[in-house]
Amino acid sequence: MKRAYEPAAREDGTRVLVNQDVAPSTALRRWFGHDPARWTEFRRRYRADLAQRTDLLNALPTIAGKGPLTLIYSARDVRHNQAVVLRERLVRS
């Protein structure tokens, strides 16, 4: 995982901006508002949303091939953002 504002590096491998196809819905993002007090519930809701989009989740490892995959996000909070939840989901797969 890497913030969008950090420079790209060779070891990043395939870089995927998570603010697009696998992003939380606008309503969920607005509700969350990057409020750490809502983190647990955001994670639950976003995981439920991701469960409905398995085609996109399954495509990410294929897009990356056999090399590294770096999830790029724009949030300031490195511990409470959608890339963290998405990474957890991908690692579980």
Per residue in 4-20, pLDDT tens?
999 999 999 999 999 88
pLDDT of residue 35: 96
Q: How many domains are contained in the chain?
A: 1
Query: Could you tell me which of 30, 27, 6, 33 has the C-alpha nearest to residue 17?
Result: 6
Can you read off the two tokens belonging to residue 79?
């511990």
Count of CB atoms within 10 A of residue 32's CB? 20
Q: Provide the edge-to-edge strand list for the sheet that holds 2-3.
A: 2-3, 69-73, 14-17
Distance CA 36, CA 81 (A): 9
Average pLDDT value for the chain: 91
To the nearest 10 degrees (0 to 180), the angle between helices 54-64 and 39-51 is 90
Query: In terms of residue numbers, what domain contains 13?
Result: 2-92
pLDDT of residue 91: 86
Name the band, by pLDDT with cuts 50, 70 and 90, for residue 59: confident
